[in-house]
Amino acid sequence: MIFIIVSSILLADQSSKFLITRNLSLSQSIPVLKGIFHLTLVHNTGAAFGILKNQVPLFIFTAIFAIFLIFLNLKTNKHKKLYSISLSLILAGALGNLIDRLLFGYVIDFLDFRVWPVFNVADSSITIGALLLALSIFKPGKAKL
């Protein structure tokens, strides 16, 4: 199940970034739902919300370290399903953004809800994974799947 989650999200992330970069120019924005949701191509050299701009080596090292720890944790421990799913989501997102940083020196973002910084599928996977991880840790009795 872990392999399916990671590979599916990684495929969706990289495919969507490929399509966006082939069809939009940098900073171009196309309204999908005018004023609510746009597709906007952004190159993010920072972390979440664009903080720590131009620290690519730091982000690459951090991502590789996190990926190693997550992979090790998933491989060596038997966990509840929700815990494993959450780590798989985080792993997939970290891999997706790491690929961008290694290939381009920045992360390709394009999902623009106008009230939030522009993000991508990998960012969504990390966020959902982190929320599920918190749920699996802090409410273990209610987090069973």
Question: Could you give the angle at which helices 81-104 and 121-138 cross, rounded to 10 degrees?
Answer: 150
Selected catalytic residue, list 13, 100, 112, 123: 123
Selected catalytic residue, list 13, 100, 109, 112: 109
Question: In this structure, are residues 140 and 64 in contact, taking their beta carbons and an 8 Å threshold?
Answer: no
Tokens read off for 40: 């906007």
First to last CA, the chain: 13
Question: In this structure, are residues 54 and 45 in contact, taking their beta carbons and an 8 Å threshold?
Answer: yes
The Cα 126–Cα 96 span in angstroms is 10
Active site residue 123: yes
In Å, the largest CA–CA distance within the chain is 48
> How far are the Cα atoms of 1, 38, 91 from residue 140, in angstroms, in the given order?
20, 37, 21
Active site residue 109: yes
Residues acting as catalytic residues: 109, 123
